[in-house]
Amino acid sequence: MSADAAGPEIRVISSSATPEDIAAVTVVVNHALAELADELGAEPGPGVSAWQRSQRALRTPMRPGPGAWRSFSA
């Protein structure tokens, strides 16, 4: 069986890993890889349209009050 058909190759470096430990890690890693492949193959979300981007505020609102116009004096 080729590496592609069997999935990714996993190498165990620890000498104290039991067959159950290796099986558990293999299942978790294969599941995570399958989820990632599903996410990458999924259709992209709608995102933000040009209309929505153009609706953002252009400036902060002006606040009237005492001393509010002082910075515009000549």
SS3 state at 25: helix
List C-alpha distances in Å: 27 to 11, 33, 37, 39, 65: 14, 10, 15, 18, 66
Q: Is the pLDDT assigned to residue 20 strictly greater than 90?
A: yes
Structure tokens given for 4: 């592609």
Contact 30, 7 (CB under 8 A): yes
- The reported pTM is 0.45
Average pLDDT (18-44) is: 87
Q: How confident is the model at residue 18 (pLDDT cuts 50, 70, 90)?
A: very high
| Domain coordinates in residue numbering, the chain | 8-40
Q: If you average pLDDT over each of 3-7, 8-12, 37-41, 46-50, which comes out highest?
A: 37-41
**Residues 12 and 22: beta-carbon distance below 8 Å:** yes
Q: When comparing pLDDT for 74 and 20, which is higher?
A: 20
Q: Give the mean model confidence (pLDDT) for residues 50-70.
A: 73
